[in-house]
Amino acid sequence: MGCLKLSIRRRGEVLKVVKVDGEVMEFESAVFVKELLVNFEGFGVKRSRKSGKFLEPSFELQLGKTYYLFPWKCSVPAADGGSTAATAVKRVKIVMTKKQLEELLSEQTNWKPGLLPIPEEMIE
């Protein structure tokens, strides 16, 4: 069986989502946050520009309201060791041949992990 979603809308009432560049997307029916974010990886939805809280993926965006699309941010220590700097997370896909990968890895022969090993205890 399929799922049928009905939406009653008043004449001219739309759901608006404002992107970071100021472009406004309009929808004629309610949309879940997770449905909207399918095309916006690395972004979240807020109720206002000043709101610090992102809406849950299961939240339903309502007709007649305006929402805002913002990139997720993470805090990383600043290079000077002082305050934290906010940077956007961005995924990058690298395509290379097996030979290029082998060359890259051969240059990294003195690589050591940044974490110390965790000693394990024997449980009898």
Domain locations in the chain as residue ranges: 15-74
Q: What is the pTM of this model?
A: 0.51
Name which of 22, 47, 23 is nearest 33 in CA terms: 47
State residue 5's pLDDT score: 47
Q: Which overall architecture, per CATH, does domain 15-74 show?
A: Roll (3.10)
Q: Are 37 and 44 in contact (CB under 8 A)?
A: yes
User: Higher model confidence: residue 79 or residue 114?
Assistant: 114
Cα dihedral: 100, 106, 111, 117 (round 10): 90
- Which single residue is written with the structure tokens 């305050």? 83
